[in-house]
Amino acid sequence: MKRAGLFGVPRVRPWSWQAFLLGLAVVAMSALLQGICVVLGAKFYFAAFLPGLFVLALMTGAPAAALAALLTVPLVWWAFIPPFFEFNALTSANADSINLFCLLAVLLIGLADLCRATMTIVRSGGLKPSGESAATNP
pLDDT tens-digit map of 36-72: 999 998 888 999 999 999 999 999 999 999 999 999 9
Q: What distances in angstroms separate CA 1 from CA 5, 14, 19, one per listed residue?
A: 13, 11, 10
More confident site: 61 or 129: 61
Q: Which of 58, 41, 48, 46 is nearest to 112 (CA)?
A: 58
Count of beta carbons in the 10 Å neighbourhood of residue 85: 8
The model's pTM is: 0.83
Phi then psi for residue 117, to 5 deg, are: -65, -40
For the chain, give percent helix, strand, coil, nearest 5: 60, 5, 35
